[in-house]
Amino acid sequence: MACEEAANPAAINPREMALQQLAESAERIGLEEAIHKKLAQPKRIVVVSIPTQMDDGRVEVFTGYRVQHSMERGPCKGGIRYHPDVTLDEVIALAMWMTWKTAVVNIPYGGAKGGVVCDPKSMSEGELERMTRRYTSELVEVIGPEKDIPAPDVYTNEKVMAWIMDTYSMNKGYVVPAVVTGKPLALGGSRGRSEATGRGCVFVIEEALRVKGMSPQGATMAVQGFGNAGTVTARLAEEIGFKVIAVSDSRGAVYNPDGLDVAALIEHKQQTGYVTGFAEAEEIPRDDVLTVECDVLVPAALGGVITKENAAQIRAKIIAEAANGPTTPDAQKILDENGIFVLPDILANAGGVTVSYFEWVQSLQSYFWSEEDVNRSLRNVMVQAFHDVYQRAEAAGLNMRDAALDVGVSRVAQAQRLRGIYP
Ligand code: NAD
């Protein structure tokens, strides 16, 4: 997947949930009605049909969306997903969440999201390429380095970004690398981009431990999902002293109270496709990874996995949401009652979009940074964002999720106030 963004709790209409969150934040921060009304609506919704020649000669017509929620603080930014369940409401909600996320880490972007209703797993590479190129052509007037910069999301990757960049460049008549992020390194991608989400997550976990008076040395971690975000988080956490005691993927989970050897587990997963069958661990039921006793739990798989059914059994002190939307609103209430410190997705997984921002800056300048420069700058952004949110949480007696939302909404509102409503 390797994305900037992804799934959210399926049972709840995501757009209603996003509007509800905005309304609650508006109430807490005393937002003017005019700005609230404006932020409740996306700036622009584009719906396109994407006729695509399939390998057998038939023409399929796919539906594609691009939603630009806000450009108050800069051009729009957000991923593109290819999935049969993509809906306009979901894309609208995800675009709104991108607005708050870019504002929480204080990078000069608004929020956007795109999606095509299709089943990429059943399509050939040629079909995906033709669909991607036509989708890009349909959007050529609304995306661009100074307007809206797509990135990978569910079932899109750096190859898809390369096709988008090429199609856009062909339409313009010159090469425009800054039109997308998450590109291959050879086309102007950024060093450190592929690890950025996990690395950013570990940076905020370190800050959370610091304010809680805990040390990473010997602290324990459980990780749900062992893909891009989960493997990098586990590996870097181990590097700073954590014992990673439980890890799951879609098939099952492994557990070792003395700490799993993360590098060996990654190799095992690469060779066999799964974490199960790893010699130096005991197998446990897949979803038990969420309820093992540990200091830090990292959901890094799907949305909607921490629910009112299992929240009371969670025995972690800190939850760091590498995944998008892993905790339902009902579950959050239970976690709050149990004193569990939750680092919300719009903070904990914002490392990906932050390094996307660095990639865009590098592409615009045609001047490329070392990996050390990328990682140092990422740390600065994540540490600052953590403390901005923590300060709000402490000052207003809020959990970190509500505090992060307030920080994000306040920053967008401030930009809107300064710019005024045109004309
Ligand atoms: P990925 O596809 O690389 O990995 C997902 C992992 O989750 C896989 O190992 C899969 O086996 C596992 N999984 C699926 N169902 C599971 C289940 N029921 N229980 C346990 N594991 C299960 O995806 P990713 O890029 O690592 O993204 C993971 C999450 O992080 C998503 O919610 C995504 O939105 C979020 N995220 C990722 C990035 C990024 O840059 N990669 C950025 C922001 C947010």
Which of ligand 1's atoms lies nearest the C-alpha of 305?
A: 18
pLDDT in tens, 324-348: 999 999 999 999 999 999 999 999 9
The Cα–Cα gap between 418 and 270 comes to 51
Residue 245 has pLDDT above 70, yes or no: yes
The Cα–Cα gap between 254 and 34 comes to 52
* Neighbour-count burial for 191-205, b at 16+ CB within 10 Å, e otherwise: bbbbbbbbbbbbbbb
Strand partners, 59: 53
Domain with CATH 3.40.50.10860 in the chain: 30-178
Q: Is the CB of 226 under 6 A from ligand 1?
A: yes
Q: Is the CB of 276 under 6 A from ligand 1?
A: no
What percentage of the chain exceeds 70 in pLDDT? 97
> What's the confidence (pLDDT) of residue 9?
45
Q: Is the CB of 233 under 6 A from ligand 1?
A: no
The Cα–Cα gap between 81 and 86 comes to 8
The pLDDT of 266-285, averaged and rounded, is: 97
CATH hierarchy code of domain 196-339 = 3.40.50.720
- Ligand 1: residue whose CA is nearest its atom 16: 250
Which residues belong to the active site?
113
> What's the confidence (pLDDT) of residue 205?
99
pLDDT in tens, 59-107: 999 999 999 999 999 999 999 999 999 999 999 999 999 999 999 999 9
Is the pLDDT higher at 296 or at 2?
Answer: 296
Class of domain 30-178: alpha beta
- Ligand 1: residue whose CA is nearest its atom 3: 227
Ligand 1 mean position, distance from CA 168 (Å): 29
The Cα–Cα gap between 307 and 328 comes to 5
Q: Is the CB of 224 under 6 A from ligand 1?
A: yes
Two structure tokens written together for 29: 């921060």
Q: Is the dihedral of CA 389, 393, 398, 400 positive or negative?
A: positive
The pLDDT of 115-142, averaged and rounded, is: 98
> What's the confidence (pLDDT) of residue 191?
98
The Cα–Cα gap between 67 and 65 comes to 6
Q: Is the CB of 248 under 6 A from ligand 1?
A: yes
Ligand 1 mean position, distance from CA 345 (Å): 13
> What's the confidence (pLDDT) of residue 11?
61
Residues 305, 311, 316, 321, Cα dihedral to 10°: 40
Query: Quick check: pTM over 0.75?
Result: yes
> What's the confidence (pLDDT) of residue 71?
97
- Angstrom CA distances, 141 to 74, 99, 137, 144, 179, stand at 17, 21, 8, 8, 12
Work out the mean pLDDT of the chain and round it to a whole number: 96
Q: Is the CB of 31 under 6 A from ligand 1?
A: no
* pLDDT confidence band for 303 (50 / 70 / 90): confident
> Rounded to a whole number, what is the distance in angstroms from the first to the last CA of the chain?
42
The pLDDT of 311-336, averaged and rounded, is: 96
Ligand 1 mean position, distance from CA 157 (Å): 13
Residue 282 has φ and ψ, to the nearest 5°, of -100, 145
The Cα–Cα gap between 224 and 289 comes to 6
The pLDDT of 128-135, averaged and rounded, is: 98
Domain with CATH 3.40.50.720 in the chain: 196-339
Alpha carbon 219 to chain centroid distance?
25
Ligand 1 mean position, distance from CA 302 (Å): 6
